[in-house]
Amino acid sequence: MTWWPVLAVSGGAYGLKLLGVVLAGRLDPDLAERWSLETIVVPVLAGLILVQTLTTADRYVIDARTPALLVAAVLVWRQAPFVIIAIAAAGTAAILRLIA
Amino acid sequence: MIGSMARDPVLRNALSLGVATCVYAVSFGVLSVTAGFSVSQTCVLSLVTFTGASQLTFVSVIGAGGGVAGALPPALLLAGRNAIYALSLKQVVSGSWLRRAVRAQAVIDETTAMAHAQPTLTAKRRAFDVTAVCMYVAWNSGTLAGALAGQALGDPREYGLDAVFPAIFLALIAPQLRRPGAPRAAVAGAIIALALVPLAPAGVPILASVLGAAPTLLASRRRTGRSR
């Protein structure tokens, strides 16, 4: 394999991160505060959670990940420690896959 | 040392993310070498690209014979959300140009979610940096291990590790849902992303989910506008 694909994807991915950081630095602080810019992460993470749980490639899939997220949701609601939430989610998915 | 680590929730959380990430990195290493990349190319991919979903997509498409032209667009679309994250981290990633250039590399899902889950700017900066170091070490050591001799570990899904990331992101997003307009933005973002999955190329659904914040942003602008 030649190096140029490696450099293209690496440079592109870092470039996008840097672009965001540079744009953030140029934003008028007043505007940033008024628009409560932190809110933009909420829908992106919400989208990420459901895409990671309910889809494979471009299809909707209900599998062991769904009950694992439901277990996690209950534990989050009960304010369980992070590590417990991670272990419970992994354990639920692993056990369901083992049975199936 | 173990005791003080256990008492520091940010470090503890970052370490549990690191463990799951490390196993994923091993499978990336295996996949990349199988797709025809050398060990050093695989390591450069992780050291410089450092964004898991893009890397996995890139080597999978090339491994499946899709070519660089087929692999590059989805990989970069998946990386595009990091630019959105960087905007939201305006105050966290500020500082000298060198610091900003280094922190830019660490703007990924995990560091962003960990930073935003903290109450103060100092805590956000620390959570960002601690998570960044854990993730960078985990991702790159796992990649090297996988590229050299990873076949033995098997598929991380067998251990349910694919379910860990959404579970942790849910835990990190939960405290932020108390902000006015945030629940509405979360639901809108989730609906936009899910609706686009069968229609749009990989990466686009999550990028587009940022539009879920539009009504909340416009409303907050109008509110502050009126109070002036």
How far, in Å, are A60, B74, B84, B108, B187 from residue B79 at the CA level? 22, 9, 10, 9, 23
For B128-137, the pLDDT digits (tens) are 999 999 999 9
On chain B, the residues whose CB falls within 8 A of the CB of A18 are 101, 104
CB proximity A11 to B under 8 Å = yes
pLDDT at residue A12, rounded to an integer: 97
Instruction: Give the model's confidence band at A97: pLDDT under 50 very low, under 70 low, under 90 confident, else very high.
Output: very high
ipTM of the complex: 0.90
Nearest to B48 among A14, A57, A60 (CB): A14
Nearest residue of B to residue A55, measured between CA atoms:
B197
Q: Which amino acid is at B138?
A: A
pLDDT at residue B228, rounded to an integer: 38
For B49-87, the pLDDT digits (tens) are 999 989 998 998 888 788 888 889 889 998 999 999 999
Percent of chain B past pLDDT 90, that is, above it, reads 56
Q: State whether residue A55 is helix, strand or coil.
A: strand
As a whole number, the mean pLDDT across chain B is: 88
For B10-26, the pLDDT digits (tens) are 999 999 899 989 988 98
Asked if pLDDT for residue A9 goes beyond 80, the answer is: yes
For A77-86, the pLDDT digits (tens) are 999 888 899 8
Choose among B8, B47, B23: nearest CA to B131.
Answer: B8
Angle formed by the axes of helices B164-173 and A82-99, nearest 10°: 150
- B 58-117 residues with CB below 8 A of A? 58, 62, 68, 71-72, 75-76, 79-90, 93-94, 100-101, 103-105, 107, 109, 112-113, 116
Asked if pLDDT for residue A34 goes beyond 70, the answer is: no
pLDDT at residue B227, rounded to an integer: 42
